[in-house]
Structures are given as structure tokens and as C-alpha cells.
């Protein structure tokens, strides 16, 4: 069993630590609207709506900068609206406080923009628990890319084992492709497994993190 200082827990934000109301499906449809208006939708809507938002934006970036900017504007507006009245996920503060006190290295990895994330973490007094906060402002590629996980681990010297805690398949794919273990959270285990993600563990309550055999070889 490795000591806590050699173990990193990398948390997703939306619907893992905070209950945001970002309309991800509606956002995807608005992005597809823009692609279709530009004549650059490469597949039917019912297929594209299953794609991660960063993948849709990449399609727009391949067309021109104006389309990409319009797509990012749609995303920024959805994030601002969805995070405005967000509340902490049940027991998140207590779990973070306990993990921090035990000596684990903690981080946040989110596809949201930094200027929206930091005020919310400060509002809930979560920010002091994290060694690294990585947002889309900071990393080269967004989840499901593993780049964010790698970015965080580069900034946590001495970490030998990493876990990504998240509610969606993109968190699991980012973890697996970066060589980390995925701990799924919430009601979407079946949807994640359908995407080929194989979690190390799946929990329904964040307090379960406190009893998992973290660092076990």
C-alpha cells in the first residue's frame, strides 16, 4: 500500500463536486446548428449529438476561426448560465477535507473555463484543498483527451498512483489513456461501460472514497 503523498485524486467538477445545470445536450445541438449552417456537419445530428463537445468544436476549428469563435461563445454562455446557481454535491466538502488531511494530493480537471471555475471553488471553500486546478484555459486538449491528466501529474512530483474521479465516460477515457485509474461516480455507470470505459471502482456517494483501498498495488 502506497502512502497518501504518493497518491493523486483528480476530480471532475460538474456533477462530481458541484451540481451544475449546464445543458450539455442543448449545447451540443446549438453547436451542430452552427456546423450545419456552415455546411460542415460530417454526420447526421443523431450521431453528432453523442460526440464530446471538444470534438464538435474541433470540427468548427477545421473550417475557420470565425466558426470556432461562435462555437466557443455558445459554450461560454452555457457554462455561465449553468454554473451561476450551482450547489456543492452532497458531502463533497467533508470528503475533500478528510482526503486533504490524510495527505492525498488533490486536483481538479474540468473542461470549463478558469474564470468561471475559480469563483465557484472559492465560494464553496474547496480551492484550498487542491494542489492543481486545471481548466480548459490551462491545457492543450480537453477530456476525453488524456492531456489534462498528464498536465496535472507533471505538477505533482512524487505521485506514483493517480485516480480520476468523475461522472462521465470522458473522465474514464482520459484516465485510462493517461495510465490512471478511473473511479466513476453517480448514475451513469452503464453509459460509461457502453463507451468501453472500465472503471477501477464505481461509487454512488462521495463518502465511499474514504474507504476504498487507494494505493493498493
Burial of 215 (0-12, 13-18, 19+ CB in 10 A): middle
Matching residue, cell 448560465: 81
Q: What gap in Å lies between CA 184 and CA 154, rounded to an integer?
A: 23
- Same domain for 103 and 90, yes or no, is yes
Asked if residue 142 is part of any domain, the answer here is yes
Mean pLDDT by 10 residues, the chain (217 residues): 96 96 95 96 96 96 95 95 93 98 98 95 97 96 97 98 98 98 97 97 98 89
**Which residues span the domain enclosing 149?**
4-19+86-211
* Nearest Cα residue to 148 out of 109, 199, 105: 109
- Same domain for 34 and 134, yes or no, is no
- Same domain for 67 and 150, yes or no, is no
pTM, whole model, 2 decimals? 0.93
Q: What is the CATH number of the domain that holds 124?
A: 3.40.50.1000
Residue 216's pLDDT is what? Answer: 82
Pairing of strands 105-109, 7-11: parallel
Asked if residue 216 is part of any domain, the answer here is no
How far CA 86 is from CA of 55, 69, 166, in Å, comes to 25, 26, 17
Q: What gap in Å lies between CA 15 and CA 156, rounded to an integer?
A: 25
Amino acid at each position: 500500500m502506497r502512502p497518501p503523498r504518493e497518491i493523486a485524486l483528480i476530480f471532475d467538477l460538474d456533477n462530481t463536486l458541484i451540481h451544475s445545470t449546464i445543458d450539455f445536450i442543448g449545447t451540443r445541438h446549438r453547436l451542430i446548428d452552427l456546423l450545419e449552417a456552415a455546411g460542415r456537419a460530417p454526420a447526421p445530428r443523431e450521431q453528432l449529438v453523442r460526440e464530446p463537445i471538444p470534438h464538435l468544436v474541433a470540427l468548427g476549428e477545421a473550417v475557420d476561426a470565425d466558426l470556432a469563435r461562435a462555437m466557443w461563445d455558445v459554450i461560454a454562455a452555457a457554462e455561465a448560465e449553468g454554473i451561476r446557481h450551482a450547489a456543492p454535491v452532497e458531502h463533497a466538502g467533508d470528503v475533500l477535507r478528510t482526503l486533504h488531511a490524510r495527505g492525498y494530493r488533490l486536483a481538479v480537471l474540468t473542461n470549463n473555463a478558469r474564470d468561471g471555475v475559480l469563483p465557484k471553488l472559492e465560494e464553496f471553500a474547496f480551492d484550498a484543498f487542491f494542489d492543481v486546478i486545471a481548466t480548459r484555459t490551462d491545457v492543450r486538449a480537453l477530456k476525453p483527451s488524456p492531456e489534462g491528466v498528464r498536465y496535472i501529474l507533471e505538477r505533482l512530483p512524487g505521485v506514483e498512483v493517480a485516480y480520476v474521479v468523475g461522472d462521465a465516460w470522458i473522465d474514464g477515457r482520459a484516465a485510462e489513456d493517461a495510465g490512471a485509474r478511473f473511479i466513476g461516480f453517480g448514475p451513469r455507470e452503464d453509459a460509461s461501460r457502453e463507451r468501453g470505459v472500465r472503471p477501477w471502482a464505481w461509487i454512488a456517494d462521495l463518502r465511499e472514497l474514504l474507504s476504498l483501498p487507494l494505493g493498493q498495488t
